[in-house]
Amino acid sequence: MYVFPNINAEDDAVSIWALQCFLRDECENRLLAVAKDKKIYQLVFDGDRPNIINTPNSGGAFTSLSSAARKYWPTTLYELAHETVNLLDPIEGNTNYLEEGFAVHFSVEMSKK
């Protein structure tokens, strides 16, 4: 079971990174390892909807979460869990339906924990 801190997600970079690592490990246990040539960077809260952003040289990626996730940890966890699946092998453009379906499933599963 994951326990949320008592401060807002946007104000707790250490807990956000710990959550990112926890979700990555949980996801890798279910699927596969993160692409070895890609690095996962600290997330940002910078958007209307969650998505992943590749670095300019495509050597890594990070998650951009919605404004709703800034202050409400359950939303932070749900959005970050979904995007963690996409971070396993970040690609330019759209993902496929299978990946998106598993991302939703993984988000729900992690929300239950």
The per-residue pLDDT for range 36-74, each reduced to its tens digit, is 677 889 999 987 889 999 888 878 899 999 999 999 999
Is 3 within a domain? no
CATH number at residue 42: 3.30.2010
pLDDT, average across residues 27-40: 77
Mean pLDDT taken over the chain: 88
How far is residue 50's CA from residue 30's CA, in Å, rounded to a whole number? 22
Q: Which residue has the tokens 């496929």?
A: 96
Q: Which domain holds residue 41?
A: 9-112
Is 1 within a domain? no
Which pLDDT band, with edges at 50, 70 and 90, does 35 fall under?
Answer: low
Q: Name the domain count of the chain.
A: 1
Is 103 within a domain? yes
Taking phi over 0 as left and psi of -120 to 50 as alpha, with beta for the rest, 92 belongs to beta
pTM of the complete model = 0.90
Is 2 within a domain? no
Is 86 within a domain? yes
Q: Tell me the two tokens of residue 76.
A: 């932070």
